[in-house]
């Protein structure tokens, strides 16, 4: 038996300008003559940054009243990791879906960062056993990775995405105008997933990123657009053609740097953004790849230098935390990563820029060496101030 899924990923600007038709076109593509009911869940910080957004949605729906109606007033919820850590958030969304009497063919339209999309997506996946979900990602990370995916979920027991569901969205609409109000911190954080995709799959993309760092970290729209489209393509190709969209096997080849990142986020009390933790995790696994003899020091230096030039801090005090058994707390991330995926431990490491491969064991003492090296690089950078980055990033000593 074969079961196939399809969902469009549309790039646009000014999605809720009344004359724009991309949103209404994807929403009504299966039943063009029906008047669809939709319930919007919107990220609070986005609404604070764009106070006119809710009115634009109302006006848009009114302009397309033949095909679309609001089932209830848009629900504005605090976004960021807080929504994934709030045990009541899903119940609250479900209560609204119930009160507005949405049926399985109605739409939940989620607008926000990756965290809000993950939480609202899980609520949609579990109401009526799966309602239609349209995602409008509004951060760089959500547009170049999270918003495109078939995964939804929230955090529990100090573990990322412990509760969740695989459920492909009905559609994804990437409106680059949303990025105009994004903080510099979140613009940079979103670069981590694009750098990750380049590192494991596409050396040319890595070279492009290397040249575009100043424009990207300054939030220049044309550079961000290029990066997001290329990263989105790599992620979508993996989902559509990678052979395991619902991760039934133990491998997660796109999750370079993630075993450590998923542990660093809760260890930091979610002070670290996902993208920031991924940057540290990639630096760690890059140094590990060198220590284990898989990767030459020269490409490793280029990787660490690119991450640092992009604005990432590659050292965080959580790397030095120890658990009650005296072992570095970060090491628990390996077992938790394996548990989340099931089966044999499978970690993506690097052979070269653009060339990831799967390893099934990591040596704890070499991980310790890599952590120590990151701390030394950090201390050297701190002491030397403006010294050339590549000297500070020397991975050999
Ligand atoms: N489902 C997946 O496959 C997948 C993949 C990667 C990451 N993720 C998840 O995505 C989350 C990270 O997402 P993120 O990086 O988008 O961060 P985020 O969702 O935490 O958002 C960061 C901050 O930006 C605010 N914000 C959102 N859009 C804004 C805008 N346009 N202007 C101003 N502020 C805005 C949010 O309210 C929040 O305060 C993590 O929970 C991570 O686990 C999921
Ligand atoms: Zn990620």
Q: Which two tokens stand for residue 320?
A: 């030095």
CB-neighbour burial class of residue 371 (10 A; exposed 0-12, middle 13-18, buried 19+): buried
Is ligand 1 within 6 A of the CB of residue 168?
no
Distance from Cα 143 to the centre of ligand 1, integer Å: 9
pLDDT confidence of residue 384: 66
- Nearest-10 Cα torsion for 231, 232, 237, 238: 70
pLDDT confidence of residue 210: 98
pTM of the model: 0.96
pLDDT confidence of residue 253: 83
CA atoms within 13 A on the CB side of 381: 20
Beta bridge partners of 175: 12
Q: Is 195 helix (H, G, I), strand (E, B) or coil?
A: helix
Contact 177, 167 (CB under 8 A): no
Is ligand 1 within 6 A of the CB of residue 136?
no
pLDDT confidence of residue 386: 42
pLDDT confidence of residue 395: 56
Residue from 14, 118, 194 whose mutation best tests the ligand 1 pocket (most atoms within 8 A of CB): 118
In sequence order, which ranges of the chain are alpha helices (DSSP H)? Answer: 22-27, 44-49, 53-63, 81-85, 89-99, 114-126, 140-144, 184-201, 203-217, 221-241, 258-267, 274-291, 297-310, 332-341, 364-384, 389-392
Beta bridge partners of 112: 137
Residue whose Cα lies nearest atom 23 of ligand 1: it is 80
Contact 198, 322 (CB under 8 A): no
* CA atoms of 231 and 133, how far apart (whole Å): 22
Residue whose Cα lies nearest atom 6 of ligand 1: it is 146
pLDDT along the chain (397 residues), means of 10: 94 98 97 97 98 98 98 98 97 98 98 98 98 98 98 96 98 98 98 98 98 96 98 96 88 91 97 98 98 98 98 97 90 94 94 97 96 94 58 50
pLDDT confidence of residue 318: 97
Distance from Cα 141 to the centre of ligand 1, integer Å: 7
């Amino acid at each position: 038996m074969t079961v196939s899924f399809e969902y469009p990923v549309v790039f646009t600007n000014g999605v809720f300008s009344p004359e724009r038709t991309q949103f209404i076109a994807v929403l009504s593509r299966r039943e063009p003559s029906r008047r669809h009911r939709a319930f919007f869940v919107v990220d609070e910080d986005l609404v604070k940054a764009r106070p006119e957004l809710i009115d634009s949605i109302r006006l848009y729906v009114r302009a397309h009243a033949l095909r679309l109606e609001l089932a209830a007033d848009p629900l504005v919820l605090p976004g960021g990791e807080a929504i994934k850590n709030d045990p009541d958030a899903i119940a609250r969304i479900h209560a609204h879906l119930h009160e507005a009497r949405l049926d399985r063919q109605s739409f939940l339209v989620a607008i926000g960062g990756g965290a809000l999309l993950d939480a609202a997506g899980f609520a949609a996946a579990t109401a009526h056993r799966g309602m239609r979900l349209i995602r409008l990602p509004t951060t760089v990370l959500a547009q170049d990775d999270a918003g495109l995916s078939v995964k939804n979920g929230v955090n529990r027991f100090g573990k990322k995405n412990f509760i969740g569901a695989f459920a492909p969205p009905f559609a994804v609409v990437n409106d680059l105008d949303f990025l105009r109000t994004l903080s510099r911190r979140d613009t940079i954080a979103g670069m981590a997933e694009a750098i990750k995709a380049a590192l494991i799959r596409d050396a040319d993309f890595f070279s492009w990123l290397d040249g575009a760092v100043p424009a990207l970290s300054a939030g220049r729209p044309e550079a961000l657009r290029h990066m997001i489209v290329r990263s989105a393509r790599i992620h979508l190709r993996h989902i559509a053609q990678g052979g395991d969209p619902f991760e039934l096997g133990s491998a997660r080849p796109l999750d370079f740097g993630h075993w450590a990142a998923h542990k660093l986020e809760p260890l930091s009390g979610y002070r670290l953004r996902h993208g920031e933790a991924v940057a540290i995790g990639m630096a760690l696994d890059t140094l590990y790849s060198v220590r284990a003899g898989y990767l030459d020091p020269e490409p490793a230096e280029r990787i660490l230098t690119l991450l640092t030039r992009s604005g990432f801090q590659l050292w965080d005090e959580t790397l030095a935390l120890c658990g009650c058994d005296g072992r570095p707390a970060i090491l628990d991330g390996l077992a938790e990563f394996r548990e989340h995926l099931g089966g044999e431990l499978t970690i993506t490491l690097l052979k070269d820029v653009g060339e990831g491969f799967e390893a099934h064991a990591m040596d704890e003492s070499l991980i310790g060496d890599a952590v120590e090296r990151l701390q030394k690089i950090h201390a050297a950078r701190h002491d030397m101030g403006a010294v050339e980055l590549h000297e500070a990033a020397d991975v050999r000593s």
